Structure 1
Amino acid sequence: MTTEEIDRAAGVGLRSERGPILLAVMLSVGLVAIDATILATAVPSVVDDLGGFTQFPWLFSIYLLAQAVSVPIYGKLADLRGRKPIMLLGVGLFVLGSVLCGIAWSMPALIAFRLIQGLGAGAIQPIGMTIVGDIYTVAERAKVQGYIASVWGISSFVGPALGGVFSDFVSWRWIFFVNIPLGLAAAWVLTRRFKESVERQASHKIDYPGAVLLAIGGSLLLLGLLEGGVVWAWDSAASITILAAAVVLLTAFVLVERRAAEPILPLWVLGQRVLNSANSSALLIGVLMIGLSTYVPLFAQKVLGTSALVAGFALAAMTLGWPIAASLAGRIYLRVGFRTTMLFGSVIVVIGAGLLLTVDSGSAVLRLAAACFVIGLGLGFSASPSVVAAQSSVAWQTRGVVTGANMFARSVGSAVGVAVFGAVANGVLAARLGDSHADLETLPGEVLAPAIHGVYYGAAAAAVLLVVAVAFMPNRIVEQPLAK
């Protein structure tokens, strides 16, 4: 970047020039955020049209797998080739996947096209956050993180509503076609307004062996965690084989990374106090988020007797509290430091998890929503500062890798959460019914309530561990240069 561009990135020059870039990032993140909720409400319509009821969970699993394992790879490529081409690649893949999903003729085809969407999402989320880290200072970044978090909050309301409208009055295919104008607008703004100059050296070498080992090993690990205890038993030959292969490939990945000239995921990421705390926090946040997003709506519908829409809004209270806290967090950590702010947030998460444990079959749904809102506040004060701290602790050349590692940790946390909470719920049911493979969706509320409360206890334990993880974050961090 030129001196003028660096000054502008630091807020010295024309601040308004960063506005369109931020808007493009928010539009891009909005693609992923809306997609996270819009499909769930349309599943019955999709199954009625395409069939494949037993296969539809793969619409979500394959997307998560593709997104999670590609994140670290995109992060490294963004450090080598620049943010702009990788972000445009992600948006392009997501839009292409959306078009193909919209014209899918069978459930297997739709699942395959969701994989393409997941590969696009794997670039959009971390590279968008990396761009924000590049062009805004620490003081500005917290407010901007609040803007991006608000995209998720708005999407949590807009997504289910759009999914219902398209399914009931138009066609489920439009839940994918709606991504086309958003993606094209984001790509157009990025192309026109985001200028960067990256020094491409002949000495740069992409770590292809590491990328392949991480992609396959990570996919097998997440596959084993997501489907273990669901599609196959934990002690089955399939589960043992998949998890053992994942361990072997990921061990080989570590050995390759130790010798690679420019590793996809440098091992020094695991040796820094700031990054260890940030990534551990991200993993636990992933655990908490999947626990809430999976079991809070189920509790609201089956135990409290609400509609699916009301249950969705109860969960949306969490994503409403998150951006509020994220926008306030910057003012706090600039005064009292990162660790103090994150400890404050994680304690609020513990309080929210405690409130969740007090909700029973006789509670009003507003009480459930209030607990989710408190947890969202705590996560906003914990998650946003941890990302800012991680990005600020490294220079431009490694900011993509660091952001990608943080997002990857959250994805792994979600997969671990699915496995752990599923085991907890099934364990409680097994103790009561003698059936460890009961279908949660078909059980009456009085039977289901204790199982979900077991999950809530697990979420409370994760919240306590989050306090421990953020306690290792330094309170003050020496900020590295915004740009090269």
Structure 2
Amino acid sequence: MTTVEVDRRSIGLRSERGPVLLSLMLSTALVALDSTIIATAVLTIVGDLGGFAQFPWLFSIYLLAQAVSVPVYGKLADLFGRKPIMLWGIAVFGVGSVLCGLAWSMPALIVFRAVQGLGAGAVQPMSLTIAGDIYTLAERAKAQAYLASVWGISAVLGPTLGGLFSEYLSWRWIFLINVPLCGLAAWMLLRNFTETPDRTRPRIDYPGAILLTGGAALLILGLLEGGQAWAWDSPVGIGVFVVGAAMLAGFVAVELRAADPILPLWVLTRRVLVASSLVSVGVGAIVMGLTSYVPTFVQGVLGTGALVAGFALATLTIGWPISASLAGRMYLRVGFRATALTGGALALVGCAATGLLDVEARVWQVGAICFVIGAGMGLIASPTLIAAQASVDWSERGVVTSANMFARSIGSAVGVAIFGAMVNSRLGGAAAPTAAQLSGALHAVFLAVGAAAAAMLVAAAFMPGRDSDR
């Protein structure tokens, strides 16, 4: 039985794909916007609630809660179906948004951001999983291009909307505006998406879920906060990694004996899944490096405003969906590995070019480089995920998709740690670095991004050849 036939059996034929995709795009937009919209409202929020020293946790806790919950949601989706997990994620995200909008202190807002992150952890992988279910192999690249375009648009609109809300209304509307949008997304999904998953009695691996979530949370927390909230060689800095590693070791031991593991260890042994996850790690690191430091370079080194810096980075998010929409034809013709290698090579060329940027660079050059990188990402990120999804049937696709998203989160966390440490070591704590100092520090970051692109290209080379793509 082919993958498409399995999908049509598992998902009711009454599902209207167009409205379902719109619902997925709207849900994805909520998650993507809340990753960036708060950035320009930080000073307003701090002025109202206080707690300036704590505000970085508004970002870290959201990303942390989202990342560690993704693998659990993937397994639950394979047990209970995509629809209830997606609706749960939208509901939790909506509740978290209401609580954030009503927050009375910075600690309360941080806790409520964690609630939002737990909802987002279901929305992001479920969107990609449902798209993988309802579209054929030839159509999935275009569907994922639409979802990728949402992230691109949100990266540009998020900070702008955050500034507008905080200046002309209230920072609380940054969160409260999510409530009607969550309701609309849930209604569209309820009305148009029908699935009939197997109704066998599920066995939930609670010990595995607890150990995986706890261990991953500690490791990602250590990467995000190391060198900032605490020194890398401090008792806390070392302890989070030691305890996290011990919990993950316990997780592996539990999974080896579990009847229905929360994250089956075969995900770490199949060639296509390992290769696609390694590519995803590279994608996470590269995107984090570029989104964090390209605007800083354009503003601090080239001397432009925030708006121009945003548009320079926006070309990355323009090239990505364009190439992703074309990837379907390409991987059907030449295979997943050749498509991924082409994308990886493009990304490597673009990332290597960032290492040539200096104080004499022009903004258009930065934009052109980001466009090339985005085009490469569209040809490597989407096809490798689709290859992983196509290698399993419906009952395993949620786990596979979530594992891929989790790998990207790990890559982002590692990128935060490495790139941040490189910048800090070169600036030496300078309160107001000059353009030349900043250029030197960011040059090192861009070289590291190029190294990540090279590693991603190597990982793509291990994708199965054309004969085993399906």
Q: Do they fold alike, i.e. is TM over 0.5?
A: yes
Q: Is the 8 A contact 2:294 2:309 kept in 1?
A: yes
Task: Say if 2:448 is the partner of 1:458.
Answer: yes
Return the match for 1:448 from 430, 438, 441. 438
d(CA) in 1 for partners of 2:389, 2:266? 15
Task: Say if 2:412 is the partner of 1:414.
Answer: yes
Q: 1:13 to 1:126 in 2, by over 3 A?
A: closer
How many angstroms does 1:10 deviate by? 11
Q: Is the 8 A contact 1:7 1:13 kept in 2?
A: no
Equivalent residue number for residue 22 of structure 1: 21
d(CA) in 1 for partners of 2:412, 2:367? 21
How many angstroms does 1:423 deviate by? 2.0
Equivalent residue number for residue 250 of structure 1: 248
Q: Is the 8 A contact 1:314 1:372 kept in 2?
A: yes
Equivalent residue number for residue 87 of structure 2: 88
How many angstroms does 1:200 deviate by? 2.3
How many angstroms does 1:5 deviate by? 9.6
d(CA) in 2 for partners of 1:465, 1:193? 41
Q: 1:6 to 1:408 in 2, by over 3 A?
A: closer
d(CA) in 1 for partners of 2:416, 2:5? 44
Tell me, which stretches of 5 or more residues in structure 1 are unaligned?
A: 430-434
Letter in 1 for 2:305: S
Following superposition of structure 1 onto structure 2, how do residues 275-314 of structure 1 map, counting pairs within 5 Å? 275-314=273-312
d(CA) in 2 for partners of 1:115, 1:10? 33
Equivalent residue number for residue 123 of structure 1: 122
d(CA) in 2 for partners of 1:46, 1:120? 22
Letter in 1 for 2:229: V
CA-to-aligned-CA distance 1:38-94 (integer Å, 9 cap, x gap): 111111111111111110000010001100000000000000011010000000011
Equivalent residue number for residue 176 of structure 2: 177
Equivalent residue number for residue 109 of structure 2: 110
How many angstroms does 1:173 deviate by? 1.1
d(CA) in 1 for partners of 2:464, 2:240? 38
Letter in 1 for 2:401: T
Letter in 1 for 2:434: P
d(CA) in 2 for partners of 1:12, 1:182? 25
d(CA) in 2 for partners of 1:292, 1:242? 27
d(CA) in 1 for partners of 2:455, 2:82? 34
How many angstroms does 1:418 deviate by? 0.7
How many angstroms does 1:428 deviate by? 2.9
Task: Say if 2:353 is the partner of 1:363.
Answer: no
Equivalent residue number for residue 345 of structure 1: 343
d(CA) in 1 for partners of 2:203, 2:10? 30
Letter in 1 for 2:449: A
d(CA) in 1 for partners of 2:349, 2:459? 17
Equivalent residue number for residue 391 of structure 1: 389
Q: Is the 8 A contact 1:393 1:477 kept in 2?
A: no
TM-score for both structures, normalised by structure 1: 0.93
Equivalent residue number for residue 432 of structure 1: none
d(CA) in 1 for partners of 2:179, 2:469? 38
Q: 1:375 to 1:206 in 2, by over 3 A?
A: same
Secondary structure of 2:246 counterpart: helix
d(CA) in 2 for partners of 1:354, 1:150? 24
How many angstroms does 1:11 deviate by? 12
Letter in 2 for 1:395: D
d(CA) in 2 for partners of 1:423, 1:168? 33
d(CA) in 1 for partners of 2:7, 2:163? 46
Task: Say if 2:379 is the partner of 1:381.
Answer: yes
Equivalent residue number for residue 148 of structure 2: 149
CA-to-aligned-CA distance 1:388-418 (integer Å, 9 cap, x gap): 0000000111100000000000001000111
d(CA) in 2 for partners of 1:136, 1:30? 20
d(CA) in 2 for partners of 1:198, 1:120? 22
Letter in 1 for 2:325: S
d(CA) in 2 for partners of 1:52, 1:300? 29
Q: Is the 8 A contact 1:281 1:469 kept in 2?
A: yes
d(CA) in 2 for partners of 1:382, 1:224? 29
d(CA) in 2 for partners of 1:339, 1:28? 31
Q: Is the 8 A contact 1:21 1:189 kept in 2?
A: yes
Q: 1:109 to 1:13 in 2, by over 3 A?
A: closer
Letter in 1 for 2:57: W
Letter in 2 for 1:297: P
Q: Is the 8 A contact 2:300 2:435 kept in 1?
A: yes
Q: Which moved more, 1:354-363 or 1:465-474?
A: 354-363
Aligned residues: 467
Following superposition of structure 1 onto structure 2, how do residues 178-193 of structure 1 map, counting pairs within 5 Å? 178-193=177-192
Q: Is the 8 A contact 2:286 2:453 kept in 1?
A: yes
Q: 1:458 to 1:5 in 2, by over 3 A?
A: closer
Equivalent residue number for residue 321 of structure 1: 319
d(CA) in 2 for partners of 1:5, 1:378? 31
Letter in 2 for 1:230: Q
Letter in 1 for 2:326: L
Q: Is the 8 A contact 2:61 2:117 kept in 1?
A: yes
d(CA) in 2 for partners of 1:11, 1:71? 22
Q: Is the 8 A contact 2:11 2:133 kept in 1?
A: no
Equivalent residue number for residue 67 of structure 1: 66
CA-to-aligned-CA distance 1:141-199 (integer Å, 9 cap, x gap): 11111111111122122212211211221111111112112111110011122111122
Secondary structure of 1:232 counterpart: coil
Q: Is the 8 A contact 1:9 1:136 kept in 2?
A: no
Q: Which moved more, 1:4-13 or 1:238-247?
A: 4-13
CA-to-aligned-CA distance 1:365-400 (integer Å, 9 cap, x gap): 221121111111111110000110000000111100
Q: 1:364 to 1:235 in 2, by over 3 A?
A: same
Q: 1:285 to 1:7 in 2, by over 3 A?
A: closer
Q: Is the 8 A contact 1:9 1:134 kept in 2?
A: no
Q: 1:61 to 1:21 in 2, by over 3 A?
A: same
Q: 1:6 to 1:282 in 2, by over 3 A?
A: closer
Q: Is the 8 A contact 1:11 1:137 kept in 2?
A: no
Letter in 1 for 2:101: G
How many angstroms does 1:478 deviate by? 5.8
Equivalent residue number for residue 48 of structure 1: 47
d(CA) in 2 for partners of 1:72, 1:126? 9
TM-score for both structures, normalised by structure 2: 0.96
Q: Percent identity?
A: 59
Letter in 2 for 1:471: A
Q: Is the 8 A contact 2:389 2:397 kept in 1?
A: yes
Letter in 1 for 2:307: L
Letter in 2 for 1:465: A
